[in-house]
Homo-oligomer: A and B are copies of this chain.
Amino acid sequence: MKIEKEQILSDNKKDIGVHEESFDFLANSLDRKGVDVHKVIKDLSDFQVAIPSWALGAGGTRFGRFSYYGEPANLEQKINDVGILHALTQTAGAISLHIPWDIPEDYKAIKELATANGLVFDAVNSNTFQDQKNAKESYKFGSLSNTSKAVRDQAIAHNNEVIKIGEKLGSKSLTVWLADGSNFPGQHNFQRALQHTQDSLQEIYATLPEDWKLFIEYKPYEPNFYSTVIQDWGTSFMLANACGEKAYTLVDLGHHLPNTNIEQIVSTLMMQGKLGGFHFNDSKYGDDDSTVGSVKPYALFLIFNELVYGMNNNPQNPYPAWMIDASHNIKDPLEDLIQSLEAIQEAYAKALLVDQEQLKLAQEKHDVVLCQEILQQAYRTDVRPLLERARLNVGGALHPIKAYRSLGVRGNLIQARGKHSIATGL
């Protein structure tokens, strides 16, 4: 199923009047405050977030999984799903593949399909947390950090293969999420595990094409419940430095201990030129992988405030790779992703409204009350008309969820794929 521009155009018509009224009002109001509204809308339009291939089917927990109907059963269908998202939101213009779940059979056809959907291939992701059928070595006790050289070599070889697949698709980065760790005190010699990991990453890094980047994730726990080899940004940063200038830290919002000040980590990494990538989701307890912005939208805004600051003030940091990494346990995955994309753009738009000049002055004068006012003035603004306009300008839907439903997308997918089609992957 593909959504045609005309369908969206036609669907938008019924709400266009209300939109224009509210947009004009907001634009006037922002204009009076000195905001360059066109610049904001352009920034919003330019902002593209990658969708991971594994996020298009229903997710689950260790207690089970409730399937969704009409899930994409192969890579082609996954690309089509992202195409639908992008047609509606105009902000999901990339797909991020997980290997070995999504190895293309016909690279040319896959690339053409992506292009037809307006998509590029973002970072490729390796998987050394599960054993593949017929694998010689098991990752039960770790991969890049394993005490066994044979296991480490297999994991390194896999990453190198992932890079090769990515090259054929036009990807420019490899994301390594290392599940390695230990479940019990004593299981790991922390230093040996860290040394093995550094050595393994350096071997992978050595094969990285000249114009690629290596993203190193960190996470404090899960699936290991006593220790994780790359437990925090400090460890990831240390490893990235040990690899070289093409290696970066990747921040996943859910990968932090309770109460962590994530926006400060983001700020520090950008200052050091080492923030390579970003995974969006939300959480109340652990790595819940909930819809972006569904639990802590103000924290997301504060993070975007640092991202905007860094993008404007830290030329030493490359433009980060954006991706949604959420799990869709009970919602229609596509609707869930639309809500996430909306929340990301909302936070970004509000961050763009922060008066950085005034904020700097208030900070210098220690006018803490005013500092807070400045952030809250931006945050309290209803920016939905800006998001609508940004979509409208490039052919997207005024109200993506409404359009998704009125166009009967899920029903069409079920008809095309069958009710019990199941997404490959986890």
Contacts and interface: CB of A to CB of B under 8 A. Distances in A.
Interface of A: 22, 25, 29, 59-64, 66, 129-131, 138, 140-141, 147, 179, 182-192, 194-195, 220-223, 225-227, 231-235, 237-238, 257-261, 263-264, 267-268, 270-272, 283-286, 288, 290-291, 293-299, 302, 305-306, 309, 313-314, 327, 329-332, 335-336, 339, 346, 359-360, 362-364, 366, 368-369, 371-376, 379-382, 384, 401, 426
Contact of A191 (B231, B258, B267): B267
B271 A259 contact: no
Contact of A368 (B263, B272, B331, B384): B331
A381 B194 CA distance: 30
A368 B332 CA distance: 9
A226 B261 contact: yes
Contact of A272 (B185, B227, B238, B371): B238
Given A147-B366, A296-B298, A291 B186 contact: no
Contacts of A296: 296, 298-299
A225 B283 contact: yes
Copies of this chain, complex-wide, total: 4
Contacts of A329: 183, 223
Contacts of A384: 380
A335 B369 contact: yes
Contact of A258 (B182, B258, B299): B258
Contact of A220 (B130, B185, B238, B259): B259
Given A63-B426, A295-B298, A332-B369, A221 B267 contact: no
Contacts of A186: 359, 362-363, 371-372, 374-375
Nearest to A404: B369
A360 to B, nearest CB: 7
A302 B260 CA distance: 22
A225 B285 contact: yes
Contacts of A374: 186
Contact of A63 (B130, B233, B284): B130
A131 to B, nearest CB: 7
**3 pairs of A and B residues whose beta carbons are closest in the complex:** A234-B234, A186-B371, A225-B288
B264 A426 contact: no
Contacts of A297: 298, 379
Given A64-B223, A222-B285, A295-B298, 4 more contacts: A64-B129, A232-B232, A257-B258, A297-B379
Contacts of A263: 185, 190
Contact of A225 (B270, B290, B302, B331): B290
Contacts of A259: 220-221, 257-258, 284-285
A235 to B, nearest CB: 7
Contacts of A60: 62
A335 B370 CA distance: 10
Contact of A184 (B222, B234, B371, B382): B371
A129 B364 CA distance: 19
22 contacts: A25-B25, A60-B62, A63-B223, A66-B140, A147-B366, A183-B330, A184-B290, A184-B372, A186-B371, A188-B363, A189-B309, A189-B360, A190-B271, A191-B270, A221-B259, A226-B284, A232-B234, A238-B268, A286-B286, A295-B298, A336-B369, A380-B384
A149 to B, nearest CB: 11
Given A62-B60, A63-B179, A295 B188 contact: no
Given A64-B130, A372-B294, A227 B261 contact: yes
A330 B366 CA distance: 9
A335 to B, nearest CB: 5
